[in-house]
Amino acid sequence: MVYGGLRLALEALASGSPIMLYDDDNREGEVDLVYPAWVADAEVIYDLRVSAGGLICYATDRRIVEFLGLPWGDELLAGYGKLGLLASKRLKYGDKPAFTIWINHVNVKTGISDEDRSLTVKSLDDVVRLYYDGRHAEALEKFYSEFQAPGHVPILAARSLRERRGHTELTIALLKAAGLRPSAVFAEVLSKGRSATLEEARSLAARRKMPLVVGRDILEWCSKVEVCWDS
């Protein structure tokens, strides 16, 4: 059985439409606006920037970043003297961060405009597409020839849902379950001075006729769908 909200979310993602995703009351308690990365033109980046307002992040599966040789951000900093003290700390919900590195496409102007971030995100999605098409050498060549770091787009890597149950993991689990490549762009939905509440996000989702799914429903459904649990 696929829950009604989940079914609508899977259909939306498959059609290239956005969804909203709430993690859990006992975790961050936040809602993200999520798009498949392959539709992330400048209008999508603008929507994430204006309608959501949080940090615009690119997310993919851990196996992709391991294939590309990217380090976890906290592990990278851990080897740099006193910076290791910063990297050893955790926020209140306790998880290790999903951040790896921050990049730009080499053809951007400054990297921060809607058009620039669109180019970076869609080009990252092209790397993931090449990987899942079995064109591994081309994926590596594209990544290391077309990107520059540090940049304005953080790459997040999804751990297994057995290890971490954040927006990154929940989003990638949904994409996999829909039979789509694990490649997304999202931003947290903010209100003035704080994160938006679930009720505020429900109101926005209703106005835009957009599916809103919650983490507990994804996890309950994934308990029956093994692909969700892959790292």
In the beta sheet, which residues pair with residue 190?
195
CA distance 78 to 89: 11
Q: What is the pLDDT of residues 132-185, one digit of tens each?
A: 999 999 999 999 999 999 999 999 999 987 777 788 999 999 999 889 999 999
**Residues acting as catalytic residues:** 32, 57, 93, 104, 152, 188
Vertex 218, ends 216 and 224: CA angle to 5°?
110
| Token code pair at residue 109 | 């102007």
pLDDT at position 160: 81
pLDDT at position 25: 66
Q: What is the pLDDT of residues 134-148, one digit of tens each?
A: 999 999 999 999 999
CATH code for the domain defined by 4-229: 3.90.870.10
What are the residue ranges spanned by the domains of the chain? 4-229
Q: In what order do the strands lie in the sheet with 31-36?
A: 99-105, 147-158, 57-61, 183-188, 31-36, 19-22, 212-214
pLDDT at position 1: 40
DSSP string, 188-216: EBEETTEEPPHHHHHHHHHHTT--EEEHH
- Give pLDDT < 70 ranges for the chain: 1-4, 25, 94, 225-231
pLDDT at position 226: 58
Tell me which residue of 18, 32, 44 sits closest to 195, measured CA to CA: 32
CB 189 within 8 A of CB 52: yes
User: pTM score, two decimals?
Assistant: 0.93
In the block, residue with structure tokens 């789509």: 180
